[in-house]
Each structure stands twice: as structure tokens, then as C-alpha cells.
Chain A
Amino acid sequence: MNDFPLAPETPLGSPAPFWFILFFKTLGFTLHMIPMHIWFAGTVLIALFSLFGSAHARLLAHRMINALPILIALGINFGIVPLLFIQVSYYPVVYPANILIGWYWFAVIPLLIVAYYGVYYYAVQVRRNKVTARGVFCGVISSLAFLAIGYIFANNFSLMTNEPQMMAAYNRTAVGGAVTGTALNTGDPTLLPRWLMMFGLALTTAAVYILVDTVFLAKRETEEYRAWAAKFAFLLHTVGLVWFAAMGSWYLFGALSPELRQTAQSSVGVLFGLTAVAPGLVWLCMLLGRSRASDGRIALAAAAAQVVVLALNAVSRQWLQNVELARFFDPAKMRVETQWSPMIAFLVLFVLGLGVVGWMLWQLALALKPQPAMASSSGGSPKPRKR
């Protein structure tokens, strides 16, 4: 089918070669996934633990929510890069998909504001050590808002590559040829596994985060808590992995069209194989880390391996997106008019920016280093937590 009403090519041409766009889109998405996973799975955990958890579980919830305002602010910004570059090369399919689900897409903004301030409210209560039912309620609302946002994203990105579904959505919601912006991609069998698969992967990232937090940042908590948290991280990772595998299989073998699966397997089976196997490596790290709540090397190895897992995922997704689109749209064929000097200016600023961030983190580390007089706390006796 080639009668999809594709927008004509922009007269301006693409400002960068296609490989450049793809590189930054996948890099940006990988960076975005790290914090995004922590809040996507994290707020659900926090809500459940605050409502039903043991003392340790509630402490974990409080530790996580404390970090979320920063992680969310950073993660939203990290999302800017992939969102920018997807519009550069994929605009003929991105905008129609956005517009077809217009009101839902628009709703992401208020939902995000609600989610963020729900988290913030709860975090402030935790910091002041005055958690009330209202704070917990805000946490629950935030987790629901994030789940809804994830669902809207899954709709958008599954719709964008699915030409027949886009046309069906258009025909369903057209008013005099314009659209009401009330369509969802519910008729697409890949929608649910896509959304749930991301949640499974998010559970594994959140698990790695918990291990890292326990090993490096929770030195002031009791030994019992840290032992519990390391074990829990392993458990959570296992659940996440099983979930991810189940949803991934549903997606690949139950929802994706057979031709697409065929193309995927024949051309880059290796990539998909790696993507499927890599989380196992992290799982081994988590298994080792489960009884070593103070072993920094294992936690670091788990974190590094998880970043690789996320990068592989981003690459596989990108690859699949291109294959799906190839049925009616090929972004690689667009005319390129590279804007060299702005591109170089950006790359230079990017490196300088990283340098400045590094300097600030270094200053922070210096400032937070325990004074020599109180450095003995690494031993056994549990110190009261700083509020």
C-alpha cells in the first residue's frame, strides 16, 4: 500500500546526515531511559510499598522518592534530544500520529505536571519526616499518571509506524476532513505488549538503581536494611526480567506481523539475540550482589551492564522502527543540507557542558565527603539517618 498521504519533503532539507540523526536519537533515548525507568517503575513501587510495605520497604520507598524530583527533572530534559531528532527525520509520520491522538498527546503536559508535583509533595513530606495519607495519595496519583503517559507514548509510537492503523484512525475521527484528535491505537496488537514490555525493562533498571543506592548512598542506613534492599533488588530484577521476557515474546511472536519478524530475524538476528541475552548478564551481577550490600564493584558492573542493555534496546527499537516504516516511508532518502558550523558548535558545547557538569559533581563530592573526624562510621554501629 503506497497511498498514505505523506507530507511532501521539506524544502530546507535535513540539517544533518541520517546516521548523525540516528546516532543522537538512540543515544538520547538511552540516556532518557535511565531516569525514566527509575520513575516509571519506581513510582509504582513507591505507591505499593507506602500502602502495603514492611518498615524496610517503606524506607526504600522514601529513599527512592527523595531522589525522584531530580531524576524526573533531568529525565524530562534528556527526552528532548530524541524528540528533537525524531522530528528532523521522521516528521511525515510523527506529526500525523501526534495529531490523530491530539487530545491524549496534549494531555501528557498536564499529566506530567500532576505527576511531578505529586512526587514532589510526597518527597517533601518524607524529607520533613511527616508522611501523611495525603502524601501517599499523591504518590499513588503520580504513579497512575506516569503509567498513563507511558500508555500514550506507546500509542503514539506504535501508530506512527502503522500505516493502516493511521488511516483507520483518520477515517474514524475525521470531521469534514479535519480530525478531532481523539483516536487511540487500540486496534493494534503491538500496543499492549509494547507498553508492558517497557514497564518490565523499567523494573530491571529500577532494581539496578536500588542496588547502586544501597551500596553507595545508603551507608547511613542499618546493616539489616541494606542486606534486605540488596536481596530485594535481586528479586525485583528477576521479576522484571521474567516480565520483560514474557512481554517481549508476546510482542515478537504474538503481535508483530510475521513478515516483519522474518525480516528482523534474517537481517539482524544477532542484534536481537544480544538484546535478548544481555539482561541475563545483569541478572548474574544482581545475583552476586544480592548478599554483598557493600561491594561497590558488583554494583558498578551491574549498572554498566544495564546501560549496555538499554543501549542495545534502543538500537533494536530504532532498527525495527526503520523496518516497519520502510513499507511506506524511507527517511534515509531525504535530501541532506548539512549545517556544519551549527553542528560543530553544538558538539563543542556538548563536550564543554559535560565538563562543567563534571566539575559541579566533583565539587559536590568534595563538599559531601565526610569530615576526617567522623569518617569512622563505615563500620558496624548504625547511625541515625539524616533527615
Chain B
Amino acid sequence: MHYPFWYVPGLTSPMLIALIAVFHVLVSSYAVGGGLFLAMEVRYAHRTGNKEYLAYLKQHTWFFVLLTVAYGAITGVGIWWTIGLASPLPTEFLIHTFVFGWAMEYVFFVLEIVAAFIFYYAWDRLKPRVHEQIGWIYGISAWISLVIITAVTSFMLNPGNWQNNFWLAVLNPQTIPQILARTGASLLLATLYVFLHSSFRANNASVRTLIAQRSSRPAMLGAALILLGGLGWLLTVPESARAALTGAAALNIMAVTIFLLTVVVLFMFYYGPYKNPSWVSSGFAILLFVLGVIVTAEGEFVREAVRKPFVIYNEVYSHNVLKNEVPTLQQTGFLNGGVWTRHYITQRFPEIKTAEGKIDNARLATLPQDSQVEVGHTIFQYHCGSCHASSGYSGMKEILRGWDAPMLEKLVLNLDRYHYFMPPWSGTPEEAKMLTRYLETLTSPHPMETAGGRSSGVQSAASAR
């Protein structure tokens, strides 16, 4: 449409975003929660004069800086990098809404980096009070950067009545619930990292007990915040997302597991490390860590999935079309609406180009059969390719077993009726015919049928192979 579509075979390009996002969130949550943990605990160790604990914290900070400062920044930029490739129109929209939000976030990133390195490298040189202050500068900057980016992700799910205003966009209905949940996840995940690290690295039993007891408190607080934020999230999520959540089996199973696992983890913390600190063995730490990773990954997946068919709710669809463009596209054509699709098709098939350089929809049906399939392929790439691979992830070949041409055409024309996950059909009836021609080539017999079935669709598919 507005931009060339990046065709990633078998996977679809938006899946690359999800991949990087999970890798990012697992570490960036630790960057926030771990920063607060270190500031807090260094203060405690200084106050109580606990040299052994302080020594462990220094060791932990090394691991923390190693993992968060560069990896967190690179994968964070990486998400942004990838959304520009896979969803350029929503990215363009977000950049023009939030550029100053990101610019502010950049200030906090710089503070984080400078603070983190000074905190670690001048550990033994700084006066205790200054050391603690720098720890807090790190922790607070990291948390504010979480707040800013959460304002953007919550906007994507429910912009509310934002009237093209930055501050209203930042304070959307989802902002506070999501900040609560993300802060909670940061505290919880940070504790899991601390357990994991200390169960291998803290040799001193009394230090391990101290860690188990002290850091299970932020973890329990974190779990409670996740539950609270999650509830608020459910209450402020738009109707389509709630429908998706309750309607799709995979999603509601995930949502329920997130909820249950969080409760389980909360109890594990209470009866485990909090009451019985000696329980924290490496096995226990690994188990908790794996649970935390599962919850986080599922949370990200649900967050991405329930936005469908939008990338930015009520504004931009997943197929890189603005919501208010759809009526025009239905009148003048999907292919005409996109600068790249129009360019491609008029070059490829000059015989259907009008004097103004547009595509003549009425003449599409005059093209030879295999040219029609080609036109349909282009429509598929741009209209469906963000969510469906032709074969692979949510693959058409796999979905379309047993479908025939009349069913396909009806589906295409009523896309959003068939499934509210899908955007409305954004082209002309003639274009729907072209897409149907292409989809027919992907159909195969119903799994229960023997080859050479009843409908023309099945036959043409069979002959196409």
C-alpha cells in the first residue's frame, strides 16, 4: 500500500516483531526491576554494614550491567527497527504521535547508562550515600522509561478519545493498568533473575537466606500488581479485544494460564523463600524462572494478538491501511489505493491502465486466467500477508482444505464477518474475484475426501498442482 510489503515466506514479517519483543521484554523488565532492587539493597547493605551482602551485590551488578545495558538497548531499538520493516504505516503513525515521548525516553536511557556504569565501576570509590543516589538515579530513570514506552503500547490497544493530542494519547484508558502490570512483571522477573544468579553465585549461606527473604517481598508485590493491572486491563480493553480474548480458544487459555500461574508463583514465593528461605535451591530458582518466562512470553503474545485486526486500535489496520481509507478503497480499488500496488500492476499489465495511470477495475476480468491469479497474488500479499503466510504460519494452504470458489468469494467479501480478527474487505468486488482466483490455487481436497472431489475449486486446485 503506502510502502512495499516485506514478504517473509512461511512466517509473515510481523512474527519477527513478536520474536524480538519477547527477547526484549525478558531483559528490559529485569533492567527496571533489577535497578530498583540494586538501589534498595545497596542501601540496606550499607545501613547494616553487611560487607558480604555488598560483595554479592557488586557481583550481581556486573551480571546486571552486562545483560541489560547493551542487550536491552539493542533489542529495544530492534523492535522499532522491525516494526518499521513489517508494519511501516503504523510505525509512521506512532512516530508522528509520540516523537517527543521517545525523545524524552532517550534522555532517560542516557541517564541509565551513565548511572549504571558509574554505579558499577566506581563501586568502592564512591561515598556510600552518593553510591546509593546513583543507584536510585538508575532505578528511577529505568522505571520512567518503562512508563513512557507503556504509554505507547497501551495507546495501540485503546487510544480512547485522544483527539490527536499527545497528552491524551499518553493518558489513554489502558495506560495505568498496563503500567501497573508491567511494573509488577519487572519486580517479579527481577527477583527471578536474582534467585537464579544467587543460587549459582552466592557461596555464602547467610547471604542466600537474606536474598531469599528480602527479594521475595518485591516479587510478591510484583505478582499482586500483575493481577491488579491485569484486572484493570480487562476492564479497559476495547470490545473487539475482549471478544478476541473470550472467542479464541488459544487466547483465553493463555489469559487464564497467565492469571493462574501468577497466583501460583505468588503462593510459591510466600511459602517458599519468604517463609522458608532455605528452599531456594538452583532447581527451585530455575523452575521459577521458567514459569516467569512462560508468563511473560504469553503476556506479549496475548497483547499482540488481541489488537487484531488493528495495529493501532480504531486507527490503523494490520494490513497497513488507515481505518478511514477503507470506504475509498472499496470504491476505487485496493490496488489503486496503494502507491506500490498500483505501480506494480500497471507496469505488469499495461493493458488495464487508464489514461490517468490508474487500474481499470472493470477490465480486470478481461485478463487471461493466469494473469488474474497474479493480480490476486498481489492483493493477497498486501491485504492478507501480514497475518497469513501462503503456507506456514496461519497458512492459507493449510486453512483452505476443502474450500471452493463460491465459499472463498463470500469469505473475501465478508472478511470481518467471518472472523472479527480480520479487517474489512478493502477493495472492489472485481478485486475480490481476482483474490478468489489466487486463493483457489491454494485449496486442496477436504482431509476427509479422496482426491478429485466435487467442486470446481477442488478440481482447479488439483489441476494446478
Contacts and interface: CB of A to CB of B under 8 A. Distances in A.
Q: Do A and B bind each other?
A: yes
Interface of A: 3, 5-8, 10-16, 24, 69-70, 72-74, 76-81, 83-85, 87-88, 91, 94-96, 98-100, 102, 105-106, 108-109, 112-113, 116-117, 120, 170, 174-181, 337, 339, 341-343, 345-346, 349-350, 352-353, 356-357, 360-361, 363-364, 367-368
Contacts of B256: none
Contact of A84 (B78, B81, B95): B95
Contacts of B106: 77, 80-81, 84
Given A77-B73, A181-B8, A7 B3 contact: yes
B341 interface: yes
Given A98-B84, A363-B126, A177 B345 contact: yes
Given A12-B93, A12-B164, A361-B114, A116 B74 contact: yes
Interface of B: 2-8, 13, 16, 20, 66, 69-71, 73-75, 77-78, 81-82, 84-85, 88, 91-93, 95-97, 99-104, 106-111, 113-115, 117-118, 122, 125-127, 130, 134, 137, 164, 166-167, 322, 339-345, 374, 377-378, 380-382, 385
Given A88-B96, A109-B78, A179 B107 contact: no
Say what secondary structure dominates the interface of chain B.
helix
Contacts of B93: 10, 12
Given A99-B88, A353-B108, A176 B164 contact: no
Most buried by A among B66, B110, B322: B110
6 contacts: A10-B93, A12-B93, A77-B113, A113-B74, A353-B107, A363-B126
Contacts of B322: 11
Contacts of B343: 3, 5
Contacts of B167: 341-342
Given A84-B95, A85-B99, A177-B5, A367 B130 contact: yes
A346 B106 CA distance: 10
Contact of B381 (A24, A74, A178, A181): A178
Contacts of A345: 100, 104
A13 B96 contact: yes
A355 to B, nearest CB: 10
B382 A178 contact: yes
A14 to B, nearest CB: 7
B71 A113 contact: yes
Contact of B81 (A106, A176, A350): A106
A112 B85 CA distance: 18
> Interface centre among A88, A113, A356, by most B CB within 10 Å?
A356
Contacts of B97: 12, 15
Nearest to A180: B7
B11 to A, nearest CB: 12
A120 B380 contact: no
Contacts of A363: 118, 126, 130, 134
A70 B65 CA distance: 10
Contacts of B75: 109, 113
A153 B52 CA distance: 47
Contacts of B117: 70, 73
B104 A346 contact: yes
A246 B232 CA distance: 62
Given A15-B99, A106-B85, A349-B104, A357 B114 contact: yes
A84 B97 CA distance: 12
B113 A175 contact: no
Given A5-B339, A105-B85, A342 B101 contact: yes
B95 A177 contact: no
B5 A178 contact: yes
Nearest to A94: B84
A216 B410 CA distance: 75
A100 B5 CA distance: 9
A20 to B, nearest CB: 10
Contact of A7 (B2, B69, B127): B2
A367 B125 CA distance: 5
Give the one of A178, A346, A356 with max B CB within 10 A: A178
Contacts of B134: 360, 363
B308 to A, nearest CB: 20
8 smallest beta-carbon distances between A and B, as pairs: A5-B339, A342-B100, A177-B378, A178-B7, A176-B377, A353-B107, A177-B344, A178-B381
Contacts of A170: 4, 340
A339 B97 CA distance: 9
A99 B122 contact: no
Nearest to B125: A367
A76 B99 contact: no
Contact of B66 (A12, A106, A120): A120
A217 to B, nearest CB: 13
